[in-house]
Amino acid sequence: MAHRDRSHRGRNLAGAAAPPLTFIAGNDTYRFGSLGYLHYANVSVGSPGQWFLVALDTGSDLFWLPCDCIMCSMPGLVTISGQELNPYSLNKSSTSAKVPCNSTFCGRPSPSHCSPTHNTCPYQVQYLSNNTLSSGVLVEDVLHLTTDDSQLKEVDARITFGCGMIQTGIFLEGAAPNGLFGLGMGNISVPSVLANKGLAANSFSMCFGPDGVGRISFGDKGSTEQDETPFNLEQSYPTYNVSMTQVSVGENVTDLSFSAIFDSGTVFTYLNDPAYTAISESFNSQVQEKRQGNDSGIPFEYCYDLSANQSRFEVPNVNLTMKGGKQFHVTHPFVIVYIKDAHGERTMYCLAIVKSGDVNIIGHCCEYYVAKGSPLACFTNLNLLFACLDFDGVCYYLQNEMWKMLTFDPNPENFMTGYRIVFDREKMVLGWEASNCYDAKNYSTLPINPPTSSAVPPTSAVEPETRSVGSNGSPALSPPPLPGSGSPYLNSFACTLITVFLSLSILCFAVPSS
């Protein structure tokens, strides 16, 4: 009866202007360094609800959970209280069902793809990260949500998602070990399903706070004060792709037309030429510190030494003029790096953009992460050996027969940090408004802060954090509490250098791309 009542209330929401929705555990999201610096949320699926800590990815469509595992990374992922984050099980849910071959979500079935004997619909999703995919069968079950307002009315939405039997690549190295929540434009994504069922407007927002805490709200169309730019829709695979018409770096302004994908599932920001060279060389011409030679242990090309006694430095501000004329101010275009080797210790900062040979992607963060464990080869294109000895951002790597210690700023900020980003698929626009993700405005549980001024000075003064190289300065971030669980800190369970690059997933076999 309780489940029936919640479903009824969900249908009633569709009759009027539906309030925003969020996960039953709350609208909080958390960025975990130990899990690839992606943003995660706690979701409940099934009857009774099974709990999962899933990575949020605007660059792909399918929501999948580890399930009936043949190759998954689940073993060893536990809360500090000892509660294991388990895979999904159809047998444990009274509302679960396998998706049949004749389902509209089964795409273009053929005898080799859909099993007539078992009437099950297989899927395979390939991601741009090397050798990374998820495969299994499509299933249906209930996703437990609540209105993202003061009423907190429970809403059950029946959704289609992947029972992920096989994961490869970065999914076995620490990223999204308990599932991936695709937020793309395809019909199978949860935002699309909620909109098609009339449960929420066809829009959602994600807020990226500077401390790693964020928010997610389905049906949120933003505010009248936000800036907007249209999506580029002339693509075979629709993504949150937008156009830039001008780049300003400090005092230098360059007319430059290029497009990029806003992707929460990609950590770095990747730009190809001419955008990469224009921004990098302009940035380089305006900083006073000495540029370092290329270090193969660092993915960034433009890095600058800071003296031992240097308490502050100035960097030019980076602004992107979007199609339509609105400005997107990059709040933190650099990352601070600490290195210790046989020659001593040094600190430097780097322009936090990686040169791309392919697509342009605006990532949500700016650094990669190494968890502690045993040495193994990482960044295979660099042929480096890493020994991971600390939990948050410290790593030793071997270069020219010399071990070096590499530490990253524990509070990474970059292109989406400090904004509520609105992915409005009704108006087909990307919206953004300055926010610290705590101060409420418009929605009782979605915090927004408007910018204090639209004017941006050409340079910003920065005071690097006082730190002993090798110390663990990262704040301890934990997922939202699991009902009935103890302290939910995650134990380190893998050693890897994770460059999370999930954008532009390719859905194969049964799952349609839109």
Residue-wise pLDDT for 35-92, tens only, equals 777 889 999 999 999 999 999 999 999 999 999 889 987 555 665 445 567 899 999 9
Residues 293 and 181 in one domain: no
Q: Which two tokens stand for residue 265?
A: 């599932």
Q: Residue 5: in which H helix or E strand, if any?
A: helix 2-13
Q: Which one from 28, 148, 156, 263 is the annotated catalytic residue?
A: 263
Residues 72 and 170 in one domain: yes
How high is the pLDDT of residue 440? 57
Residue range of the domain that includes 113: 2-222+477-492+503-509
Residues 285 and 178 in one domain: no
Q: Which one from 57, 220, 227, 392 is the annotated catalytic residue?
A: 57
* 445 assigned to some structural domain: no
Residues β-bridged to residue 67: 88
Residue length, the chain?
Answer: 514
What is residue 91's three-state secondary structure? helix
CA–CA dist 313, 335 (Å, integer): 13
Residues 146 and 193 in one domain: yes
The pLDDT tens digits of the residues spanning 298-344 come to 788 999 988 888 878 888 999 999 999 999 998 878 888 777 766 67
Amino acid identity of 29? T
* Mean pLDDT (whole number) for 404-414: 46
* 36 assigned to some structural domain: yes
Residues 459 and 481 in one domain: no
* pLDDT of 12 higher than 60: no
* 181 assigned to some structural domain: yes
Active site includes 439?
no
Going by C-beta distance under 8 Å and a sequence separation of 6 or more, which residues neighbour residue 472? 390, 391, 392, 394
Residues 136 and 70 in one domain: yes
| Residue 110 binned pLDDT confidence (cut-offs 50, 70, 90) | very low
Residues 49 and 87 in one domain: yes
| Residue 134 binned pLDDT confidence (cut-offs 50, 70, 90) | very high
Backbone angles phi, psi at 229, to 5 degrees: -145, 145
SS3 track for 282-335: HHHHHCCCCECCCCCCCCCCCEEEECCCCCCEEEECEEEEECCCCEEEECCCEE
Active site includes 263?
yes
Residues 260 and 172 in one domain: no
* 23 assigned to some structural domain: yes
- Tally of structural domains, the chain: 2
293-319 burial string, b = 16+ CB within 10 Å, else e? eebebbbbbbbbebeeeeeebebbbbb
